[in-house]
Amino acid sequence: MEAKAPKLLIDAMLGTLARRLRWLGYDAAYRNDLPDETMIRIAQEEGRLLVTRDRALAQRRGVRALLVRATTVEEQVQEVVKAVGPSLHPPRCTVCNGALVPISVEEAGAWVPPYVAQTQTEFVRCTQCGRVYWPGTHWPGLQRWRPRTSHP
């Protein structure tokens, strides 16, 4: 049986990496506004591997951490994948890290602009922030739409 990819906690300055990893299906929380102590506590409490560019933070006791050395996001993604193994999970919301669930065209019609509902057949929706995604032509491969009205 394949090992499950660990949950990740992405440190400040790695926001683009976090979005890429979510798109690859990694559970990648991202915080850029917290002191080191708090980052360590979150990593411990939520069982997340701390992914950081901060060497001192990565070497702190009591926290599982991965020190990212690469400077380009492509290389950073490769570093993480090499270290933790491939994600076997579907993409997550690139904005909030929520899980994406498939929705029908009819459901999507309530959320997306009419021309999208008429021309697309596959939709997924974030269970946390409500963004709807569908296949697109540009990276990250999907377009997204944030409804103006907020639904839970």
Residues that bind Zn ion (CB under 5 A): 93, 95-96, 98, 126, 128-129, 131
SS3 at position 76: helix
Question: In the structure encoding, which two tokens stand for residue 38, read together?
Answer: 């708090």
CB 45 to Zn ion: min, Å: 22
CB 126 to Zn ion: min, Å: 3
Closer to Zn ion by Cβ: residue 52 or 97: 97
Which residue shows structure tokens 């409804």?
A: 147
Cα separation, 95 vs 142, whole angstroms = 13
Closer to Zn ion by Cβ: residue 5 or 100: 100
CB 70 to Zn ion: min, Å: 27
Question: In the structure encoding, which two tokens stand for residue 130, read together?
Answer: 């409500």
- Find the helix packing angle between 15-23 and 73-84, rounded to 10°: 60
CB 142 to Zn ion: min, Å: 12
Closer to Zn ion by Cβ: residue 6 or 130: 130
Cα separation, 138 vs 21, whole angstroms = 17
Closer to Zn ion by Cβ: residue 48 or 92: 92
